[in-house]
Structure 1
Amino acid sequence: MIPIADVAPLYLGVEQGFFEEQRLRLEPQLAEGGAAITPAVLNGDFEIGFSNTISLLIAASKGLPVQTISQGSLGGADASEAWAELLVREDGPIKEPRDLEGKTIAVNTLKNICEVTIKASLEQQDVDVDKLEFTEVPFPEMNAALDAERVDGACGIEPFVSQGEAGNARAIDPFYVNTAPDLTVATYFASRQYIDENPAVIDRFVKAMSKSLDYAQKNPDEARRVLTTYTMIAPEVAERIRLPVWRSELTIPTIERLSKLSLRYGLIEREPDLEALIRRPPR
């Protein structure tokens, strides 16, 4: 998993005993992004992974046997719920999204959800996205990269948006929300082999995860508290962050939109079979 706000429900679920109720013992392992987590799951290093939707679409388009099993996080219905923002320096030359044309933007991994959704959002604002440059910077280091003027913009997500705004960063574009309301940003997934060999384990994980997502959405203070246990974020910063939206249902139309955008921007050569990619929950 990635040490970001999105995964707070899983940590809360462990604390609340939701996974223990399903006879599951979890050992969360941190990683940098879905591009690294996907092969680790396919290689059997992890049974279940957390990945942004784009990494899974890319894997599925190549015929790799991955399947989403549970919702992870949603981008929010509108700007008031936005927890992902394009960050720039408060005292820098970038005043509006159009000023980023021809500039360099930090993303946690290349050819991923940051890149796709930033392009989708800026293209709607008449930015020539072919002139954007992207460079890899881990999420926790993006604000420092902005301050040092190594990049002109950054794909900021919580808790690093609030952390940046408390310093010298300014938010200018809620790119997840602008791409699609209630965007399915990330999901939990497994290899098809593991799912086929362990369907009962997967079903129990999904039940516990659904309960965890609902609990986190209803208990934001608890989500903020648990965030400080697996990140370097101070409690006073965690109190200010805009939390992701958590629901157990996947917003499949937004996954379809991300698939089409991935094709448009050249991340995939053909759209994957979404029926094969998305595992339907047990009834």
Structure 2
Amino acid sequence: MRRSLALLFVAALTLLSGCGLLGGASPDAAPNDKVERSIIRVGQLKLTDALPLNIAIDKGYFKAEGLDVVLSVVGRGSESFDKLQAGDLDFGLMSYPNALIPQAKHVAELTVVADAAETTEGYVLCVVRKDSPIRDPRQLVGKKIAISSPKGISELAMTDQLAGLGITADQVKFPSIPITDMPGVLASGAVDAAVISEPVLTQAVKRDGLSTVLAPFSGPTANFPWSGWVAMKKFTDANPKTTDAFRRALLRGVADANSDRGLVEKAAVKNLGVDDQTAALMILPVYPRNTAPDPLQRVADLLAKYGQIPRRANSTSLAAELDMHAMLPPPLTPTSWATTNSR
């Protein structure tokens, strides 16, 4: 009798685990009447870029679309790409070079599912310790400048800014360090400068009194696409309803974030672990309401300018061979847009 009860208990646990009630949710959970797969694995960075997603989760927008989100935090965008390629994530947040370089070099086929964040003045800064002798960006020659992902958006923008000052990329070093770790590494003296974004930037400035030496996203790189939500193309091709459901839910979170700063601050306190004062002081990016190819083409063309991806053949311009139209999903249907915007 005891053996029978034990077997029944094990069977019940197995059933519950398969249904995702014990946290071991299977990504291949049975579809519902709205989507091909009801459980999606999403990787986010612990940055303000992800707050519209967090808002959408907290408000039940994904649930309304028939989706359960299994959320994990990655240290940098290159980790998102690695996990997507390995099949460990369905959607991942990353800076655009992490997606565009593999696409252009035919390492992987990816879809930019949604634009996440566009830089604003002061959202990302290259900073040094308050006691650093570096006060002018020309003093960065021969120095170590921490960036998040190797060949990522920060390195790209810094390369362009320094080039404008007559400094080539081989005259500086760009060690890769997760943004959340940068203040500590900078304080230790292991690097001379760091390119930090929000909310880590405001936290570090408040605590350590950092000094700004360069604004990477200014002048030619002002209002620049910073990060996006990306998936493998084979996933979006096989799961178009799931992909569109993700986009609709996220767009509702974007709309809320754009209309209510207080809501964003509350989401930052809850999901990013910042205090109320930091949340009130942090500079927010633009959360784009649509994903258009032209802004993203700026990233591709800048990558081509510095030889990171191929340029157009038989062209004297620096334009990229990569056409961003090819990496975007089909537009949401008018019905989908109407449904999203009416909620």
TM-score by length of 2: 0.76
| Alignment match, 1:72 | 116
1:1-283 aligned within 5 A: 1-63=44-106, 64-76=108-120, 79=121, 82-166=122-206, 167-269=208-310, 271-283=321-333
Q: Which structure's CA Rg is the greater one?
A: 2
Alpha carbons 2:45, 2:73 under 8 Å: kept = yes
Structure 1 SS opposite 2:174? strand
Contact 1:102–1:133 under 8 Å retained in 2:
yes
What CA distance in whole angstroms lies between the structure 1 residues aligned with 2:51 and 2:236? Answer: 24
Residue type of the partner of 1:117? A
Distance apart, 1:177 and its partner CA: 3.5
Deviations 1:52-111 (A, max 9, x none): 1111101211221111111111112xx3xx311111112211112121122110012211
Report the alpha carbon displacement of residue 251 of structure 1 after superposing the two structures with TM: 4.9
Question: 1:257 deviation in Å?
Answer: 2.2
Per the alignment, in what secondary structure is the counterpart of residue 114 of structure 2? Answer: strand
* 1: CA distance, partners of 2:258 / 2:134: 34
Ranked by relative contact order (alpha carbons within 8 Å, sequence separation 6 or more), the top structure is 1
RMSD: 1.8
SS in 1 for 2:282: coil
Q: Over residues 231-272 of structure 1, what are the superposed CA-to-partner deviations in whole Å (9 max), with x where a residue is unaligned?
A: 342232222111121122235333222212223334334543
CA shift in 2, pair 1:251/1:101, >3 Å: farther
Instruction: Report SS of the residue matched to 1:28.
Output: strand
**Matched residue SS, 2:281:** coil
Please report the TM-score for the alignment, with normalisation by the length of structure 1. 0.92
Query: Which AA in structure 1 matches 2:218?
Result: V
Q: Is the 8 A contact 1:184 1:251 kept in 2?
A: no
Q: Check the 8 A contact 1:106/1:153 in 2, yes or no.
A: yes
Please report how far the alpha carbon of residue 151 of structure 1 lies from its aligned counterpart in structure 2 after TM superposition. Answer: 0.9
- Report the alpha carbon displacement of residue 179 of structure 1 after superposing the two structures with TM: 4.3
- What is the rounded CA distance, in whole Å, between the counterparts of 2:291 and 2:139 in structure 1? 34
Q: 1:280 to 1:86 in 2, by over 3 A?
A: farther
The unaligned stretches of length 5 or more in structure 1 are none
Q: What is the alpha-carbon distance in structure 2 between the residues aligned to residue 265 and residue 151 of structure 1? A: 24
Relative distance call for 1:126 and 1:254 in structure 2 (3 A) is farther
269-278 vs 139-148, which deviates more? 269-278
8 Å Cα contact 1:214-1:247 kept in structure 2: no
Give, as a single letter, the amino acid of the residue that structure 2 aligns with 1:118.
M
8 Å contact from structure 1 (residues 88, 146) kept in 2: yes
Indicate conservation of the 8 Å contact 1:143/1:169, yes or no.
no
Q: Is the 8 A contact 1:106 1:151 kept in 2?
A: yes
Cα distance in structure 2, aligned partners of 1:187 and 1:43: 19
